[in-house]
A and B are shown apart, each in its own frame.
Chain A
Amino acid sequence: MTRRRLLDWFLGTSLGAMCLSVLYPVARYVTPPDVPEAETNRALAARDGELKPNDGRVFRFGSHPALLVRDPDGSYKAFDATCTHLSCTVQYRADLKQIWCACHNGFYDLSGRVVSGPPPRALEQYTVHVANGEVVVSKT
């Protein structure tokens, strides 16, 4: 190996090492750290009577939105409000008595099953307990 080639090799590897020592921290930096959040299993959705029959409302279930629906017959149902298609938040359509995603016109029935539109899966259904005038929703 000539002296010139040895020098070139040293310079090249030093430059490469320097680039790596800059790129590695940058790559780690741009990856957001995991912010641990407490797993939510129960949430207060509403006071009993706040919601009339054939009505719905979105409430906070931990850091996610959830949907509380009161059937026309007066019973409560709750779902994960994140559409299974592309994650928009769904809403209750009192005129159609169905759950609707406005982003791509997806419809779910009051059991969370897909009726029409692009959603690939049913909405996750939660359990509803009514006690002491409070409507409490929990994951089963």
Chain B
Amino acid sequence: MSGESQAPGGFAAWLEERTGLSALAAVARKKTVPLHRHTAWYYLGGMTLFLFVVQVVTGILLLLYYRSSADEAFESVQFIMTKVPFGWLVRSIHSWSANLLVLVAIVHMFSVFLLKAYRRPRELTWLTGAMLLFLMLAFGFSGYLLPWNTLAFFATQVGTEVPGGVPVVGRFLLRFLRGGDQVTGGTLTRFYGFHVAVLPALTTVLLGAHLLLVQKHGMSVPESEAEARTGRPPRSLPFFPNFLLRDAIGWSAAVGVLAALAALFPWDLGEKADPFAPAPAGIRPEWYFGWMFQTLKWLPAHVLGVEGEMLGLVAFGLGGLLLVLVPFVDSGRHPRRSRALTVLGWVVVAYAAAATAVVYLKQGP
């Protein structure tokens, strides 16, 4: 490659000859972000990525002290919270950041949904994004059990029982998740393996593909904004350093928010799980599973001869499939279908929000 600018000397030249990094720098210089009244939504992807990095870093730190056996898991987390310097901070940030990550990822996805940014040629960007959201939920579900406390134990008991109701493969799924018929120390080891090895490996691949696709296609400009500027050159902002610096402001604010949340509301550890104790009142999953949990509670035992739980599971499965297939349902050629999908999106969000609120407002039996 011939250098368009002045050839660097010394270490820079040595590095350039071996890595060809200037090609990347050239891409970064050319990259721009469209400017319009919806530009703010573009920051959510970067924020999701930042919170994921926080999870990786704090997760690695927790690994230094965590012990993944039923006899020692609770005590090791207790040790982190009470004896290790700043251990309470690291664990609380990991827990708070996990929740914010899921929240921001959901908002990111919904903004992409409303701006219709999933349409051609970005179908695969949406697809990888939807899979990444499922992976984040799996991270949340598997990580919830790791402190081996009562709440997590019974939430996992219920949570793994649910896929057990799936026709044909239910029993296999239940045994696969639990590492046996019951939730035991074997389940803990298995969930630990999922949480720190399997899910990170899958996420690395999908996240790589997602980011690569975002770079390839650039940011999508909403139809209304593109039409509004017909005949005029599109307004844009250089990605480096302008957009990245704005991103960085958001990230430093996120660090502040996480530190404040961790300091003011340290994550509770609860009581050590006892598989032979009765389930206490108030067992509920993480908030992002709350709406499914509430739906299964609302469903009657039987609907038209079909088991209520089974019906709920089929509905969740179809819902998940529809989410993944959004770009193929609405390719932009049928305006009525597109509008119907938007309405459906809002209905689902409203329902999920209402059901989640019920979980938190209606305490007790």
- In the complex, the answer to whether A29 meets B86 with C-beta atoms within 8 Å is yes
Q: A18-B252, A18-B255, A30-B64 are in contact. Are A25 and B84 (CB under 8 A)?
A: no
Of A18, A25, A32, A35, the contact of B86 (CB 8 Å cutoff): A25
The docked-state distance in angstroms from the alpha carbon of A31 to that of B83 is 11
Q: Which residues of A contact B (CB under 8 A)?
A: 18, 22, 25-26, 28-33, 35
The docked-state distance in angstroms from the alpha carbon of A41 to that of B61 is 36
Main secondary structure of the interface of A (DSSP, over half): helix
List 27 A-B pairs, Cβ < 8 Å.
Answer: A18-B252, A18-B255, A22-B255, A25-B85, A25-B86, A25-B89, A25-B90, A26-B61, A26-B86, A28-B85, A28-B86, A29-B61, A29-B64, A29-B84, A29-B85, A29-B86, A29-B87, A29-B89, A29-B90, A30-B61, A31-B85, A32-B65, A32-B84, A33-B83, A33-B84, A33-B85, A35-B83
Q: Per-residue 0/1 for B76-88: is the Cβ within 8 Å of any A Cβ (1 yes, 0 no)?
A: 0000000111110
Q: Chain A contacts of B83 at CB under 8 A?
A: 33, 35
Chain B interface residue count, CB cutoff 8 Å, equals 12
Q: Chain A contacts of B86 at CB under 8 A?
A: 25-26, 28-29
CB distance from B89 to the nearest CB of A (A): 6
CB distance from A10 to the nearest CB of B (A): 14
The docked-state distance in angstroms from the alpha carbon of A26 to that of B255 is 14
CB distance from B36 to the nearest CB of A (A): 28
List 16 other contacts, CB 8 Å, given A22-B255, A31-B85. Answer: A25-B85, A26-B61, A26-B86, A28-B86, A29-B84, A29-B85, A29-B86, A29-B89, A29-B90, A30-B64, A32-B65, A32-B84, A33-B83, A33-B84, A33-B85, A35-B83
The docked-state distance in angstroms from the alpha carbon of A30 to that of B84 is 8
CB distance from B241 to the nearest CB of A (A): 12
Q: Chain A contacts of B89 at CB under 8 A?
A: 25, 29
B90 (CB) vs chain A CBs: closest residue:
A29
CB distance from B76 to the nearest CB of A (A): 12
The docked-state distance in angstroms from the alpha carbon of A22 to that of B252 is 11
The docked-state distance in angstroms from the alpha carbon of A21 to that of B365 is 45
The docked-state distance in angstroms from the alpha carbon of A28 to that of B83 is 12
Q: Chain B contacts of A31 at CB under 8 A?
A: 85
The winner among A18, A28, A29, A32 for most chain B CB atoms within 10 A is: A29
The docked-state distance in angstroms from the alpha carbon of A25 to that of B252 is 17
Q: Which of B68-115 contact A (CB under 8 A)?
A: 83-87, 89-90
The docked-state distance in angstroms from the alpha carbon of A28 to that of B89 is 12
A14 (CB) vs chain B CBs: closest residue:
B252
Q: Chain B contacts of A29 at CB under 8 A?
A: 61, 64, 84-87, 89-90
